[in-house]
Amino acid sequence: MKSWSMAGLLAFAILLNAFQELPRCTSLEPDTAKAGATVSIKGENLNKNSLAEVYLTDGKNDTKVTVSEQSDAEIKIQVPQITPGRYHLATLTANRQRMIDQPVVLTVE
């Protein structure tokens, strides 16, 4: 009987993990910034239970950014010292199993 209970709990945990709310970024402000500036990113499921890390990517190199504030609907990041250009935002899920390219672009001057 215990083995069935354990198997049921394990299956429930796996199922719960599969339906984890994924972070989704819908906008950022400002969309052009210099290194050191703070950028506000709005969206859904941006809290620490869904989102572990944020990156700026040019398609070849991913640069981890510092998150200064984090809530379910908004995160604030500091623009790192990187080469000027256009960067897509990518997020790493809290369970560290998925890197998600987000549909927002930051231009670094």
Domain residue limits, the chain: 2-108
Give the integer Cα–Cα distance in Å for 60 and 45: 26
Share of the chain above pLDDT 70, in %: 82
Element (H, E) at 52: strand 51-57
Among 7-16, 47-56, 84-93, the least confident range: 7-16
Residue 97 exposure: Cα atoms within 13 Å on the Cβ side: 8
What pLDDT, in 10s, does the model give residues 75-96? 999 999 999 999 999 999 999 9
CB-based burial label for 79 (10 Å; 0-12, 13-18, 19+): buried
CATH of region 2-108, choose from 1.20.950.20, 2.60.40.10, 3.30.70.260, 2.40.70.10: 2.60.40.10
Pick the closest to residue 24 from 51, 60, 62, 61 (CA basis).
51
Stated pTM of the model: 0.81
